[in-house]
Amino acid sequence: MEFKQGDWVRIEKNGTVYEGKVMPSMEGYITIKMKSGYNAGFSIDKVRITLLENNGEIANGSNGGRNGVKESKNVTEKISKPGLPKIAILSTGGTIASKIDYRTGAVTSQFTADDILAAIPELKEIADFKGRVISSILSENMDSDSWQNLAKAVVEEIEAGAEGIIVTHGTDTMMYSAVALSFMIETPVPIVFVGSQRSADRPSSDNAMNAICAARVAISDIAEVVVVMHGTTSDDFCEIHRGTKVRKMHTSRRDAFKSVNSLPIGTVDYSTGEIKTFIDYTRRGEKALKFKPGMEPKCAIVKFTPGADPTVLDYYISNGYRGLVIEGTGLGHVSTKWIPLLQKAGDAKMPVIVTSQCLNGRICDRVYDTGRDMLKAGAIEGEDTLPETSLVKLMWVLGQTEDFEKAVSMLREDLSGEITECTHK
């Protein structure tokens, strides 16, 4: 039987009937997305497959090939529809571009942007896409050079006329890349990061819904760097998070991403595409495109724990580090023993930002003695900024200026929505 991606099929296995849309599948298997939103995968030689509705583009599939699922390396032309907004989709790797290698059981990044576009036929109704491969890596392998390469490519695409950008990215460090681009690019169009927690060939993969919601945001009025991912564990809506306020808060759930110390910018309804917003945001065209590259990699986060040896700070001071973020306790504290080392960092003209391991809430070092002593030693209160956001901000600020006083004053400012005046939640 011939079937291809996008077809509606009935599958009978041991007397049970399943119906759904054919998804990208591994050789010898068929994966379908059922009405419930869950995916199911079957070994082709153990089931009976009936084609119910032909919805694919090219009838080139057969059970003898790659499960009859169309795969293309160069589909951008075919999926373009004139008159729709022009969106560039930049792929970097991660689970959204991955499938299980059944020989090893490991998930590896193997799809390009064009493969992702071909795999999700609904996208062609939303925009006119151009695919571009930046890398095919798991996001734990990203570094500050990767952020800068990505930012440069995004800027080139906007200059070339893209009306919105989608960056497909591994979820583990997506928040760091989103923060880096938030500081490096002033954007007139949406820049949307999207990933998936479960690869395309797994039951309950979130890749298609996340990508479709991301496309809706990419053509919207929200001209900010945002992360768009599942809002709940169901296939109902995605949340739109500001790049500087978002964090991955769960290892495996589909709704792992949460805005911290802020409401999400809004939500996108999966079935209707409707976008609802909850807080103010920068509108399309409000800002002119501006690219401000530059990242100082020699910065680190140090987590304070009870009884922690303060000489750990000496390592950074004497090894050429240019800035530190401390994850303190509660309102932003370290023990009294750490104060002389903080003073030493200040004397070495090394900015030290204090954040809290509570994550939720705002730093206030004026309440307890230890906090006051930290401020006297020159520590900068990170306000309600996440530790990871503070780290990338520090790296970016130190990539912009050599002047210590100027760096400190930039670090105290809200530069890209990372400090909110009044903390939500």
Least Å from the CB of residue 207 to ligand ASP: 10
Catalytic residue among 13, 76, 172, 344: 172
Instruction: List all residues 6 or more positions away from 172 whose beta carbon is below 8 Å from its beta carbon.
Output: 94, 138, 139, 140, 248
95 is catalytic: yes
Alpha-carbon span 399 to 302, nearest angstrom: 20
Residue closer to ligand ASP (CB basis): 94 or 382: 94
Read off the tokens for 122.
Answer: 């609904």
Q: Are 172 and 142 in contact (CB under 8 A)?
A: no
Residue closer to ligand ASP (CB basis): 163 or 201: 201
Instruction: List all residues 6 or more positions away from 12 whose beta carbon is below 8 Å from its beta carbon.
Output: 18, 47, 48, 50
Residue closer to ligand ASP (CB basis): 200 or 300: 200
Helix (H, G, I), strand (E, B) or coil at 194: strand
Q: Are 51 and 9 in contact (CB under 8 A)?
A: yes
Least Å from the CB of residue 6 to ligand ASP: 24
187 is catalytic: no
Least Å from the CB of residue 195 to ligand ASP: 5
Least Å from the CB of residue 109 to ligand ASP: 7
Catalytic residue among 95, 112, 187, 355: 95
Q: Are 108 and 33 in contact (CB under 8 A)?
A: no
Q: What is the largest CA-CA distance in the chain?
A: 75
Residue closer to ligand ASP (CB basis): 4 or 241: 241
Interaction site with ligand ASP (CB under 6 A): 94-95, 138-140, 170-172, 195, 197
Residue closer to ligand ASP (CB basis): 209 or 380: 209
Least Å from the CB of residue 202 to ligand ASP: 12
Catalytic residue among 99, 248, 258, 393: 248
172 is catalytic: yes
31 is catalytic: no
Least Å from the CB of residue 175 to ligand ASP: 11
Q: Are 399 and 294 in contact (CB under 8 A)?
A: yes
Q: Please give the residue whose beta carbon sits closest to ligand ASP in the complex.
A: 170
Vertex 288, ends 287 and 291: CA angle to 5°?
110
Vertex 389, ends 386 and 391: CA angle to 5°?
110
Residue closer to ligand ASP (CB basis): 326 or 392: 392
Alpha-carbon span 156 to 166, nearest angstrom: 13
Which strand (E) or helix (H) includes residue 131?
strand 128-137
Q: Are 67 and 7 in contact (CB under 8 A)?
A: no
Residues annotated as catalytic (active site), given as ranges: 95, 171-172, 248
